[in-house]
Chains A and B, each alone.
Chain A
Amino acid sequence: MSLLKVTGLTKFFGGLQAISDLSFEVKAGEILGLIGPNGAGKTTAFNLIAGFIPPTSGHIVFNGESLIGLKSYAVTRKGVARTFQIVKPFRKLTVLENVTLAAFLRIPTRKEAESEAGRILEKVGLKLKRFTLATDLTLSEQKRLEIARALATQPKLLLLDEPMGGLNSTEIEQASKLVLDICRDGVTIIWVEHVLKAIMNASHRVIVINYGKKIAEGKPDEVVENPEVIAAYLGTKKQSHVTD
């Protein structure tokens, strides 16, 4: 059975159709890559699943329950956590406080929430920075803090919105390893990314969307061969080149 099933998801912003009739499934334990050119609707899809904006129509079923109509905090409580593409840490709080706050969702006492937060920070490699204010972290560290905070809510499904945007190649490698680690711990992942190399190496399956529509789905190496995907990313040069 699939952990998340999205059917016929559609979102209009005024007259603009940002997501149109999008359907896909995610199996438990899977890493699903969600790629597409700028403005394809990847982040909108995340915002819809996470309850940040309501869909115009369509169904989102998570773990057998519909998420339609739930506010974002309620979606998080059901076990879907997200990170933000543009990081949104609690800037004037320390790294430990950031993560402890998220741990409070499942662990009511401060002491235990703090020790859980410490465990997660060790996992994402921020333990030494735990008393640093979030605003003083580097971008790479803030991206990891986003992930740590999401993990502290003990999600079944983690939505990663460009965790590697703006990172250098060493940092990308570390981040890839972290995503695989999280998956190994039993968290299912949907991952939006522009760094195609990373997502191709780490995902089990990839969905490509363009103009809010799904244009391809499959194993990473199959998807990159798909002419429609190539056209979406590189554009069609001349009519003659794309004719078969």
Chain B
Amino acid sequence: MKRLLLAVALILLLAAPWIVTAPFFVHLMIMVLLWTVLGASWNLLGGFAGQVSFGHATFLGAGAYTMMILYLKLGVAPWYGIILGGVVAALIAMPIGYMCFRLRGPYFALSTLAVAEIIRLIALNWESFTAGPVGLLITTLPKVTFWGKALNWESKTPFFYIAVVIVLSALFATAVIARSRLGAYLLAIREDIDSAEAIGINTVQVRVAALSLSAFFAGMAGGFYAMYLRYIDPDAVFSIALSVEMVFIAVVGGLTTVAGPLIGAVFLVTLGETFREHFLVGHLIFYGFFMMLAIRFMPEGIWGKVRLWTGAAPHRDKS
């Protein structure tokens, strides 16, 4: 039953650009997929390991700049750039993790915020490398033929499928980690760090591993974001607003679940767009109000609530 539902969902996802052809809606779906990856990335660290980061834009930005700089300066194709963006983000995450994970709870959360601001300022001021506030711009993407047909980068469809691949890999990785020993260690750390240490878990190392994995997916999302929008500047990819949005997606979707970030992204991205369309002035007020209601009445998230209703444990997703 579960496999059948999964298969139907997958087919619908792959057929979506043919069902909904209006460019705006394809764009909306791409944004949903992008935010799913970011939510899934945050969920690995914030959900499973319970380590709240307010600085995840760092990794999004690192991935975006890696892809851009590699393409513009060295001519590395964007799809390699996306993967390398993930790798660079994961590498950057390691020293950040070893520094920040000496702190616990709210102090860790604050340190991530500080690090994110430092990195944003570096990107803003290191003009020879990042072009600073001017930003980086891709004018043309490389020509590619796929099954004998040239890909049309002006259409949104190719981007949709690239996003699908990244989303599926992020969700698949979450499912694998949830069932692995690493996943169990992350839950132990979320529940009680002292007890985790007492049963022999090197909690700094495990948290750094979780941060790195999480950063890898945020970095890939960043690389994709840069390729899709073709323009980035430090304030667009390193902003605190992005970090906070990732937290919302993961929390509203349902922490520590595999599908939660997808559900969260569907709701929040479409809701955000709807509010923007209907209330030109002050749409963020409505958005904020919705967030308050969601957190007040569904602290376990939308998917967590569904799992409660269907009798599955909300906090431990094993599917």
- Interface residues of chain A, those whose CB is within 8 Å of chain B, are 50, 52, 71-74, 76-77, 81-82, 84, 88-93, 97, 100-102, 104-105, 108, 110, 149-150, 152-153
Contacts and interface: CB of A to CB of B under 8 A. Distances in A.
Contacts, number: 73
B199 A102 contact: yes
22 contacts: A50-B198, A52-B194, A71-B202, A73-B203, A81-B198, A84-B195, A84-B198, A89-B191, A90-B191, A90-B192, A90-B195, A92-B316, A93-B191, A93-B316, A97-B187, A101-B199, A102-B199, A102-B200, A104-B185, A105-B199, A150-B199, A153-B200
B198 A82 contact: yes
B187 to A, nearest CB: 6
Contacts of A93: 187-188, 191, 316
Contacts of A52: 194, 197
Given A101-B185, A104-B184, A73 B195 contact: no
B195 A149 contact: yes
Interface string B144-166: 00000000000000000000000
B47 to A, nearest CB: 12
Given A93-B187, A97-B184, A110-B181, A105 B200 contact: yes
Contacts of B192: 88-91
B195 A89 contact: yes
A89 B188 CA distance: 9
B254 to A, nearest CB: 14
A52 B193 CA distance: 12
A92 B313 CA distance: 10
B315 interface: yes
A77 B198 contact: no
Contacts of B201: 73, 105
Nearest to B204: A71
Contacts of B198: 50, 72-73, 76, 81-82, 84, 88, 149-150
B179 to A, nearest CB: 8
A101 B197 contact: no
A30 to B, nearest CB: 22
B199 A149 contact: yes
Contact of B194 (A88, A92, A110, A153): A88
Given A88-B192, A90-B192, A108 B181 contact: yes
B169 to A, nearest CB: 24
B197 A104 contact: no
B197 to A, nearest CB: 4
A74 B203 CA distance: 11
